[in-house]
Amino acid sequence: MALTLIGVVVTVWLGVSGQLGLYIHPRYNVFTIVMAVIGGVVALAALALVPLAPGDEDEDEDDHDHDHDGEAVPDAPPRARPRAARRSPGARAVLGASAALAVIAISAFLLLAFPPATLSAQTAVDRDIDRTTADLAGDAPDLTGADPSTFTVKDWALLTAQETDPSAYADVPVELIGFVAPAPGEPDDVFYLARFTVTCCAVDAQPIGVPVYLPDWQERVAVDDWVRVSGTFGANPSTGEGLALIPETVEVTEQPEQPYVY
């Protein structure tokens, strides 16, 4: 019961503070909050009603036996009523309020001790960002007549996967924000500017990214840093194959309010 109430309080708080999107797709926010509130009401109702039931049943059974026998059973020891059944309605209300306050206190402690966080670069590596980026499916945006400043990491990952001719990106300015994840095959010269793409919730999140060519990048940025990179796409100097974002500037920045892409 306590765990249920803690879950309800945490879910509602995440929704109100706008951080529920760290765990689920935003299209499920309202549904999740409504179901959490309904679950909380049901849990509180159960907390108030369930302790009374066993006592009433025992009392009814005692009366039932006495009426049918027609006489008392002197040798039978008195049956003690459960403590919960002896509580007055006022005591049960105080108990319920105390339980609710305890749940709120525990929830507040857990949220302060373990604040919500996005998935990390280690998760991106564990989920094989090389493969998930290569397997990324969807229609790439068309560069012709488009405003490339509106393209996301996902857009550029799709575009560079489907069009690998460096001349197609000549003089096309690129500015992207993402977190730093090590590129498993090119650890010294290239890192991934990465994001997670979410279909339903964080459990199914898949890392995607574009490679950024920056020799000795570890001396300028750290894994999990959020960075803003400006530059252009060109042939990857590290391997001579594929494309990489050749940066003109790399700046550490704040995590965006919505860290995932959809």
Task: Tell whether the model's pLDDT for residue 225 goes beyond 80.
Answer: yes
Which of the residue ranges 5-14, 116-125, 151-160, 185-194 would you say has the lowest mean pLDDT? 5-14
Q: 247: how many CB neighbours lie within 10 A of its CB?
A: 21
In single-letter form, the type of residue at position 222 comes to: A
The encoded tokens of residue 7 equal 């879950």
Q: So what's the pLDDT on residue 105? A: 75
Q: So what's the pLDDT on residue 185? A: 76
What does each C-alpha distance from 232 to 113, 178, 243, 244 come to in angstroms? 41, 16, 10, 8
Q: So what's the pLDDT on residue 113? A: 64
Q: 100: how many CB neighbours lie within 10 A of its CB?
A: 15
The encoded tokens of residue 79 equal 């049956």
Higher pLDDT, 76 or 183: 183
Cα–Cα dist 209/216, whole Å: 19
Task: Tell whether the model's pLDDT for residue 27 goes beyond 60.
Answer: yes
Q: So what's the pLDDT on residue 77? A: 56
Nearest partner of 2 among 100, 113, 115, 110, judged by Cα: 100
Nearest partner of 8 among 45, 51, 50, 42, judged by Cα: 42
Burial of residue 136 (number of CB atoms within 10 Å: 0-12, 13-18, 19+)? middle
Q: So what's the pLDDT on residue 84? A: 53
Cα–Cα dist 101/36, whole Å: 18
Q: Is residue 214 within 8 Å of residue 191, measured between CB atoms?
A: yes
Higher pLDDT, 2 or 218: 218
Nearest partner of 183 among 219, 207, 147, judged by Cα: 207
Q: So what's the pLDDT on residue 80? A: 54
190-197 and 226-235 beta bridge pairing: unpaired
Task: Tell whether the model's pLDDT for residue 247 goes beyond 90.
Answer: yes
pLDDT tens by residue, 45-76: 877 776 555 555 454 444 444 444 545 455 55
Q: So what's the pLDDT on residue 74? A: 52
Cα–Cα dist 151/157, whole Å: 10
Higher pLDDT, 15 or 124: 124
pLDDT tens by residue, 80-113: 555 555 667 777 777 777 776 777 677 667 666 6
The encoded tokens of residue 113 equal 């001790």
Cα–Cα dist 7/86, whole Å: 30
Higher pLDDT, 9 or 87: 9
Higher pLDDT, 68 or 10: 10
pLDDT tens by residue, 197-207: 998 888 889 99
Confidence label for 1 from pLDDT (cuts 50, 70 and 90):
low
Confidence label for 20 from pLDDT (cuts 50, 70 and 90):
confident
The encoded tokens of residue 34 equal 């409504």
Give this prediction's pTM.
0.71
What does each C-alpha distance from 180 to 93, 186, 236 come to in angstroms? 52, 14, 18
Q: Is residue 181 within 8 Å of residue 243, measured between CB atoms?
A: no
Please state, rounded to an integer, the average pLDDT across all residues of the chain: 82
Q: 184 φ, ψ to 5°? A: -55, -35
What does each C-alpha distance from 137 to 69, 119, 159 come to in angstroms? 78, 21, 11
The encoded tokens of residue 173 equal 């300015």
Higher pLDDT, 233 or 262: 233
Please compute the mean of the pLDDT values over residues 231-235 and round it to a whole number. Answer: 95
